[in-house]
Amino acid sequence: MTYQVVRIAILVAAVGLTPLMTSAASVPTVGSLAPEFTLTSQEGTPVSLKGYRGKWVVLYFYPRDFTSGCTIEAHNFQRDQPQYQQRNVVVLGVSVDSADSHKQFCTKEGLNFKLLADTDHQVSTAYGSLTNLGLVKFASRHTFIINPEGKVAKVFTEVNPNKHSEEVLAALAELQRQSDALRAN
Which residue(s) pair with 40 in the sheet? 46, 117
Residue 70 among the catalytic residues: yes
Among residues 70, 92, 99, 106, the one annotated as catalytic is 70
| Among the listed residues 171, 175, 177, 169, the one whose alpha carbon sits nearest the alpha carbon of residue 76 | 169
Show which residues are catalytic. 70
